[in-house]
Amino acid sequence: MSLEVKRLHLASLRGVDGRRWPVHGFVVTHPGGAVLVDTGVGGPAGMLDDWRVVNRSAADALAELDLSPADIGLVINTHLHFDHCGQNAVFSHAPCYVQRAELDRAKRESPGLYDWFGFMNARWELLDGDAEVLPGLSVVATPGHTSGHQSVIVRSEESGAAAPDLLIGDAAYTLRQYTGPPDQALPDGQASDRAAWQDSLQRVRALAPGRVHFCHDTGVGHS
């Protein structure tokens, strides 16, 4: 199946290092429609103010690709932080694929955010580890940043089985972090479990992706 990855610029915010970070989602187009990986920033006003968010709507971002929210047939959240699932409600028509462990974590650790999004009305498709979502499109469990974090693998006829695209979520914030040494220093907030984060990063590196797409970096990494 022919799949293509397209990046959406959804917001910018003040990162944990005090600098301005971009926030990206990704559209994966396929012959049957389109998938959105992460929906951008949303949440209570106080939270957005704390992170100095400059936001834009997912609908406006999609319009630049000649798409609308109605064109998105399903959503994948790498994890349930406010800058990755913040506009899920825009896509209430679409099932949302997330790790069961991540939904449980969000309920336990962020009940205010969970309630704000009204997750009980969401169309969740709960996953337990690695799973194929569509032919050529799969998720791989990459815990560490959160206990239920997942990354997305895109294998198209063009890329070939040996060189997939990797949508890494927050398993690594930047290209520099992805390519750095395993014992590199991490900014506060990067990993809830450092050992799991290191294991997950080694795991996705072993996939030998052709390209690595980052949510908080304008670069694209190549193996």
What does the domain layout of the chain look like in residue ranges?
4-222
pLDDT for 83 equals: 95
Round to whole Å and give the CA distance between 159 and 149.
Answer: 25
Residue in the structure block whose two tokens are 């900014």:
187
pLDDT digits (tens, 9 = 90+) for 203-219: 999 999 999 999 999 87
Round to whole Å and give the CA distance between 69 and 35.
Answer: 10
Round to whole Å and give the CA distance between 38 and 169.
Answer: 8
pTM of this prediction?
Answer: 0.93
Q: Is the pLDDT of residue 133 over 90?
A: yes
Q: Rounded mean pLDDT of 34-41? A: 97
pLDDT for 56 equals: 93
DSSP strands (E only) in the chain:
4-14, 20-30, 33-37, 54-55, 72-76, 96-99, 124-127, 131-134, 137-141, 150-154, 165-167, 211-213, 220-222
pLDDT for 191 equals: 83
Number of C-beta neighbours around residue 223 at 10 A? 13
Q: Rounded mean pLDDT of 48-72? A: 94
185 vs 135 pLDDT, higher one: 135
Q: Rounded mean pLDDT of 7-15? A: 93
- The CATH homologous superfamily for domain 4-222 is Ribonuclease Z/Hydroxyacylglutathione hydrolase-like (3.60.15.10)
List b or e across 123-138, with b for residues whose CB sees 16 or more CB atoms inside 10 angstroms. Answer: eebebeeeeebbebbb
| 119 confidence band (pLDDT: 50, 70, 90) | confident
Q: Rounded mean pLDDT of 28-40? A: 96
Q: Is the pLDDT of residue 188 over 70?
A: no
44 vs 186 pLDDT, higher one: 44
Q: Is the pLDDT of residue 7 over 70?
A: yes
Sign of the alpha-carbon torsion through 27, 96, 154, 177: positive
191 vs 216 pLDDT, higher one: 216
| DSSP code of residue 31 | T
- The pLDDT > 90 percentage for the chain reads 69
pLDDT for 186 equals: 67
pLDDT for 184 equals: 67
